[in-house]
Amino acid sequence: MAVMKLAITGKGGVGKTTVAVFLAKYMAGEGHRVILIDADPDANTAMTLGLDSSAQPEPISELKDLIFERTGAKGTGGEFYTLNPRVDDIPERYSVDADGVKLLRMGRLVRGGSGCFCPENAFLKNLLAYLLFRDDQVVILDMEAGVEHLGRGTAQGVDWMLVVVEPGKRSIQTALTVRRYAADIGVHNIGIVVNKFRSEEEFHAIQQQLAGLPVVARFPYLDGVASADLEGTCPYTGTDEQKKLVRDLLAGLNGSIGEPQGTGSASATP
Ligand SMILES: Nc1ncnc2c1ncn2[C@@H]1O[C@H](COP(=O)(O)OP(=O)(O)O)[C@@H](O)[C@H]1O
Ligand SMILES: [Mg+2]
């Protein structure tokens, strides 16, 4: 299996983190070096990985002293800094290991008007780019909704952008929006993961509305995932059923499954 860089996005609550953790755990179990990047400031990938609250990685964006030192912004009031700070030691130093999955937490990008640059953002962007362009490990990006913040340079390093949808129009709308942005920033491949569906009817209803976006994987509603969340444990335990879901997803990336069928769908004639 080729080493892969995957970014996972979608509306809040659809199951991005769940899918990211399934993928990460599976790949680590297969002997890959895996780095999982929590890039959703409002989420908690560590918790889904089953990490104790005392064992969570420090958000990189909060390492102000280090960032100011590395970017050379120190002493200039943040006015001057390099866009290429050294980052190669960061993954080792600031990730936390969860059974072979290295978790790195990005923290919050500093938001501002368009073209907002600041040392923190330069540092985070450079770190992401560094991780995405290394070819000795699997990188899984657990993102917030949307891809705007990803930026062209980073997006080009991602092999697949997976968009998770659940039964519900709003998550499908988000997927359609992602498609528009993705082309602009140079994402190569977009694949939909249909998550939490409870029947074939529900799956097909979602598929109909995807306007031709390829479905690369199906994750049904799983009682085990819901109960793990209640208990605060990792939903991926490596059961045969779970492994098959991930294997099918990875197979879907080599040839998407479940293309819209029939002639009546909106996708057939854009
Ligand atoms: N396939 C699934 N079956 C059952 N519950 C799921 C499934 N996928 C996700 N969930 C539940 O949905 C909620 C949101 O999942 P999460 O992965 O945190 O979403 P996101 O990262 O997109 O916000 C969690 O409570 C999670 O346990
Ligand atoms: Mg999440």
| Boundaries of every domain in the chain | 5-252
134 Cα–ligand 1 center, Å: 30
Of the candidate ranges 5-14, 180-189, 191-200, 218-227, the one whose mean pLDDT is the lowest? 180-189
Write out the DSSP string of 133-177. Answer: H-SSSEEEEEE-S-SGGG-HHHHTT-SEEEEEE-SSHHHHHHHHH
Atom of ligand 1 nearest to the CA of 223: 4
Q: Which ligand is nearest to the CA of 224?
A: 1
Distance 15 CA to ligand 1 centre (A): 4
Each residue of 83-93: pLDDT tens digit? 889 999 999 99
CA of 187 to the centre of ligand 1 (A): 25
How many angstroms is it from 81 CA to the middle of ligand 1?
40
Tell me what pLDDT residue 261 has: 37
Give yes or no for residue 258 having a pLDDT over 70: no
Instruction: Tell me the pLDDT of the chain averaged across its residues.
Output: 87
Q: Give the DSSP letter string of the chain.
A: ----EEEEE-STTSSHHHHHHHHHHHHHHTT--EEEEEE-TT--HHHHTT--GGGPPPPGGG-HHHHHHHHT-TTTTTSS--SS---TTHHHHH-EEETTEEEEE--PPPP-STT---HHHHHHHHHHHHHHH-SSSEEEEEE-S-SGGG-HHHHTT-SEEEEEE-SSHHHHHHHHHHHHHHHHHT--EEEEEEEEE-SHHHHHHHHHTTTTPPEEEEEE--HHHHHHHHHTS-S----HHHHHHHHHHHHHTTS-S----SS-STTT--
| Ligand 1 pocket, residues with Cβ under 6 angstroms | 10, 12-18, 43, 195-196, 219, 221-222, 225-226, 229
Q: Which ligand is nearest to the CA of 19?
A: 1
Distance CA 36, CA 22 (A): 11
pLDDT tens digits, residue range 153-198? 677 889 999 999 999 999 999 999 998 888 888 887 999 999 999 9
Q: Are 191 and 219 in contact (CB under 8 A)?
A: no
* Ligand closest in space to the Cα of 217: 1
Protein residue closest via CA to atom 5 of ligand 1 = 226
Q: Tell me, which fold does domain 5-252 have in CATH?
A: Rossmann fold (3.40.50)
pTM to 2 decimal places = 0.91
The Cα–Cα gap between 191 and 58 comes to 31
